[in-house]
Amino acid sequence: MADAKSNSIEVNEAQIAAHWKEEEYYYPTAKFISQANLVDTEVMKRFGLDNFPECFKEYGDLLDWYKYWHTTLDTSNPPFWKWYAGGLLNVSYNCVDRHLSNKKGKAALIFVPELEDEQHIVITYQELFVRVNETAAMLRDFGGLKKGDRVTIHMPMVPDLPVTMLACARLGVIHSVVFGGFSGAACGDRIADSGSRVLITSDGYFRNGKIQNHKEKADVAVARAKELGAQVDKVLVWRRYPGKYISETPMVKGRDFFVDDVMKDFNGKRVEPVPMLSEDPLFLMYTSGTTGKPKGIQHSSGGYLAYAAGTARNILDIHPDDVYWCMADIGWITGHSYIVYGPLALGTTSVMYEGVPTYPDAGRPWRIAERLDVNIFHTAPTSIRQLRKVGPDLPKKYNFHFKLMVTVGEPIEPDVWRWYYDEVGKREASIVDTWWQTETGGFLCSTKPALDPMKPGSAGPGVPGIHPVIYDEDAKELPPGSNKAGNICIRNPWPGIMQTIWGDPDRFVKTYYSKYCRNPKSKDWRDWPYFAGDGALFAADGYIRILGRVDDVINVAGHRLGTKELESACLTIPEVAEAAVVPVVDPVKGRVPEVYIALKPGVSADHGEVQRKVVNAIENMIGKIARPSHVWVADDMPKTRSGKIMRRVLAAVSNNMPVGDVTTLANPDIVESIKVMVQSQTKRAEVTDAPDDIKHFGKVE
């Protein structure tokens, strides 16, 4: 029923028994252990709560500071924590300049174009230094940007993207990178919310061998921002091939500029890094939540970078001489923390790949790994499932060897984990299943790769300094071994935690802290556990298994989509009266959205036409990643007597699982007719054993 008082996940013991099969342990090899960064068996003691917050001095000390901090953690205004308070540093200096003394000729970034016959581009630390300086000079003197300004960056996976981010960091300009696959309108919403007056974009890029016209999205973005009252003065366009424009969309005179043209005036320019307070914001990253409006997650300079670097060192086992490849997109938090900031702060070589993993075939990632001799590989379950589906035997055909592999973003099924371990890792590599979020800056739960055994399907314990706890609805702790699912929270703050939601501190406090705060007046961090919004189980061995979101967020191929955002897009179609979006299990992407709409009375529109309009609206307002698998036109939506749409019932129908008791609905008959419609067209097999996020979807109405 729609009476859950708050975000809840209710799982009884019988249901758990069906889902909680203990998997066997796997152990790291002696070879891995012998070279690992984190081999100190006392590390958990050192990072214990008795030693909190001073334990995080160790992470702060990985960075170079202009002025050392005076207070490791300032808790005077909970939950607005300040890490390394009083410290001054510059993030770009830490990721670039400080490596010049001993690594200037070493590759910082290796860019692999999607077209296989195009050459890799190797950018050494010296070259990165030059490019970041020139770009910073251009942004400052031509773009008119200064410390504290926001700038929206809507770019694909090209090396100019990290260069632009680091140039912003050099100036203290707050960047807001919008994933390149998002639509122009979605970018425009984020421009307006952040108050950016400059948009940095690209002309195009390759995807599945075809040029994507990216510049056209900039025009839509600027128009959308204007509708929302935000003026964009300049659009800076990086060209995929300097001097050659690959987009068909005209440049707007006086507003749009090619970066490579403008940059000619800044050849050889140097810009002193601007010393920033540890708590000055470094960037915003928009993510989806329960309401239709994306949240601008604000991250700090000092705490964020220290945490990204510390976890990259301890959990990813990054050494300066590794070749590390994370296949994520820099437009998501994984790319920020673990393609750009963490790896570069440690002075390693970070590989970035432009395109899709299966282009031109599913052997591509393994050819890249072989050629560059990548030894750390980082990706998401969606890609692993896809690569297994199309090329299960391909990894063994290539001569590459990973010491460590990462999975992130979604729960990984144990059998997918085993394929990753056996075939991709060749039974040599340690795997870390890292659970975390845009909001958390870096990893929260994972095994320590040289110290803990791995367990397929489980993220593992909290990483050093992170103390997870699982609460039930009444804030009672569900300890390890209790075999009950609950809401996972973190007891303590940590340096990578978000600072606030841009422009909406009340929403920040409400979303992440109000549910389990013990006393809103308290200045003691112990009273402010962080509420992550995921359901989880704590096994007796202290390993955590993440079950999925407890809010109205669908995780599609590791990308967070808010169901309310999709529903708002549907409601822009004049014929649509009501819309509901539910997740459907997909063997590759994890989940995909499915849409139900009811038409306005008297509308006799052609259903096919309305369905097409709905799909277009979603693609235009959000992006192709949100494309629904089906749009169902229903005569009415199943509703409670108070008129609320029962999304839970629709999710059950879409996944062909039992709908439960619907007799108390205002219109129980509609359920049967929707079921018949969906079943007759999809013929999905009946599911009795649905994943927990599906089973509990829409319990919060």
Whichever of 111 and 436 has its CB closer to ligand WTA, that residue is 436
**C-beta closer to ligand WTA: residue 25 or 66:** 25
Q: Nearest approach, Cβ of 343 to ligand WTA (angstroms)?
A: 16
Q: CB of residue 285 vs ligand WTA: minimum separation in angstroms? A: 8
Residue written as tokens 């389990």? 516
- Beta carbons of 379 and 392 less than 8 angstroms apart: no
When the beta carbons of 188 and 441 are compared against ligand WTA, the nearer one is 441
User: Of 391 and 460, which CB lies nearer to ligand WTA in the complex structure?
Assistant: 460
How near is the Cβ of 406 to ligand WTA at its closest, in Å? Answer: 9
Q: Which of 548, 633, 553 is nearest to 593 (CA)?
A: 553
Backbone phi, psi, residue 531, to 5°: -95, 115
Q: How far apart, in whole angstroms, are the C-alpha atoms of residue 252 and residue 234? A: 10
What amino acid is encoded at 194 in this protein? S
CB 581, min distance to ligand WTA, A? 17
Q: Which C-beta is closer to ligand WTA: that of 259 or that of 546?
A: 546
Nearer to ligand WTA, 132 or 416 (CB): 416
Cβ of residue 138: shortest distance to ligand WTA, in angstroms? 31
Name the residue with tokens 């000055």. 280
At what angle are helices 563-570 and 607-621 packed, to 10 degrees? 130
332 vs 525 by CB, closer to ligand WTA: 332
Between 435 and 697, CB nearer to ligand WTA: 435
Q: How far is the C-alpha of 285 from the C-alpha of 331, rounded, in Å?
A: 8
Q: In whole angstroms, how close is the CB of 414 to ligand WTA at the nearest point? A: 12
Give the nearer residue to ligand WTA in terms of CB position, either 359 or 543.
543
Q: Are 161 and 330 in contact (CB under 8 A)?
A: yes
Q: Indicate the SS3 state at residue 503.
A: coil
User: What is the spatial distance between Cα 692 and Cα 701, in angstroms, rounded to a whole number?
Assistant: 17
Closest contact distance (angstroms) between CB of 442 and ligand WTA is 9
Q: How far is the CB of 700 from ligand WTA (least distance, A)?
A: 15
Q: What is the C-alpha separation between 131 and 230, in angstroms, rounded?
A: 30
Give me the phi and psi of 597, to 5 degrees please: -130, 150
Closer residue to ligand WTA, CB minimum distance, 409 or 456: 409
Tokens of 426: 């060749």
In the complex, least distance from residue 634 CB atom to ligand WTA, rounded to whole angstroms: 29
**Minimum CB separation from ligand WTA for residue 404, in Å?**
15
Question: Positive or negative CA dihedral for 41, 44, 48, 53?
Answer: positive
Distance CA 543, CA 547 (A): 13
Minimum gap (Å) between residue 549 Cβ and ligand WTA: 5
Number of H helices and E strands in the chain, helices first, is: 23, 30
* Residue whose pair of structure tokens reads 């100019």 in the numeric block: 160
Nearest distance from C-beta of residue 562 to ligand WTA, angstroms: 12
Q: Give whichever of 466 and 633 is closer to ligand WTA, judged by the CB atom.
A: 466
For ligand WTA, give the closer residue by CB, 357 or 411: 411
Task: Please give the residue ranges that form the binding site for ligand WTA (CB under 6 A).
Answer: 287, 332-334, 408-411, 433-438, 459, 533-534, 546, 548-549, 555, 560
Nearest residue to ligand WTA, using CB?
A: 438
| Residue 113 or 496 having the CB closest to ligand WTA | 496
* Distance in angstroms (rounded) separating the CA atoms of residues 258 and 549: 42
DSSP 180-209: TTB-HHHHHHHHHHHT-SEEEEESEEEETT
- Which one, of 210, 402, 407, lies nearest residue 328 by Cα? 407
CB of 459 to ligand WTA, least distance (A): 5
CA dihedral 356, 358, 363, 367 (to 10 degrees): -10
Q: Is the peptide bond before 381 cis (omega within 30 degrees of 0)?
A: no
First to last CA, the chain: 9
Q: Which of the 8 DSSP states describes residue 541?
A: T
Are 648 and 595 contacting, i.e. CB atoms less than 8 angstroms apart?
A: no
- In the bound state with ligand WTA, the residue whose beta carbon lies nearer, of 238 and 436, is 436
Measured at the CA of 245, the angle between CA 240 and CA 246, to 5 degrees, comes to 70
Let me know if 370 is exposed, middle or buried by CB neighbors in 10 A (0-12, 13-18, 19+): middle
**Residue with smaller CB distance to ligand WTA, 348 or 440:** 440
Tell me the closest approach of the beta carbon of residue 508 to ligand WTA, in angstroms: 15
CA dihedral sign of residues 620, 621, 624, 626: negative
Cβ neighbours, 10 Å, residue 29: 13
CA atoms of 166 and 431, how far apart (whole Å): 30
Where in 94-173 does DSSP place strands (E)? 107-112, 121-124, 150-154
Q: Work out how close the CB of 412 gets to ligand WTA at its nearest, in angstroms, rounded to a whole number.
A: 7
